[in-house]
Every structure is written in structure tokens, then in C-alpha cells.
Amino acid sequence: MDDLTIEVEKRASGVRVFRLTGPLTLKTMFDFQDAARAEADSALVVELSGVPYMDSAGLGTLLGVLASCQRHGRGFGITGASDRIQTLFTVSKVAGMIPSFESVETAEQLLSKSATA
């Protein structure tokens, strides 16, 4: 499984949920990056439970999307990161930088509140 599938869902709150399925790597990162750039007007929640593996290029892309959201005053968060991906965040010393939520619904609720505050 070398392909990354990206399902984008626009919630009633205006938050966009990106459900990723497949590895987020150097080979697949551009699809995610392009999709995130296309949704430049809303908070993003990236649901990672379908991502079995992420390399440093995928991590860099995730951080780039986070930085873009921050620059433009948009909320950003992740859900569903596996233990393997959490370990990557910890080893890379970025675990505290990436807003992580227990569920898409929790992320949506908090990010939509911050967008209206």
C-alpha cells in the first residue's frame, strides 16, 4: 500500500476534516500538501488513524500545514495518531507543537469555538 487517499469532509461548523488512509511519506506528501492548500479558508482536523507510517518528509509536511494554519489564523489539530506516529513526534521533539485531540468531534468543537472567539 504505497498510495495515500485523502477524504475531505466539510462540517457544518466550517471545519474541514481530512481523513488520510495510507502512508504519509516523501512519495505521497504532495497530495496532502496540495489538498490542504486548497482548503485555505477553514480550520483543519487531520484524522490519522488510517496512516500506518509517516516518514520525516510526511512529518515536515504536517508541520508545514500547521505553520500555514497558524500564519493565517486558522485552527489545526490531529486525531487518531498511532503509537508509531506518536513515537515519531516524541523522538523528533515536536509532540508538544502539534495540537492533538481524542476525537474528530472534540477537535471540531474546540477549533470552531476558537475560530469564532
pLDDT at 117 over 70: no
What CATH number does the domain containing 20 carry?
Answer: 3.30.750.24
Distance CA 28, CA 87 (A): 20
β-strand 44-50 against 16-21: which pairing, if any? parallel
Query: Are 46 and 18 spatial neighbours (Cβ–Cβ below 8 Å)?
Result: yes
Alpha-carbon distance of 104 to 4, in angstroms, equals 20
Task: Look at the chain and report how many structural domains it folds into.
Answer: 1
pLDDT band at 102 (very low <50, low <70, confident <90, very high): very high
- Report the percentage of the chain scoring pLDDT > 90: 84
User: From CA 40, how far away is CA 87, in angstroms rounded?
Assistant: 29
**What is the average pLDDT value for the chain, to the nearest integer?**
92
Domain holding 65, by residue range, is 5-116
Which sign does the torsion angle of CA 24, 101, 95, 87 carry? Answer: negative
> What are the pLDDT digits (tens) for 33-63?
999 988 777 899 999 999 999 999 999 999 9
Strands (E), 11-115: 16-21, 44-50, 76-79, 100-101
CA 2 to chain centre: 19
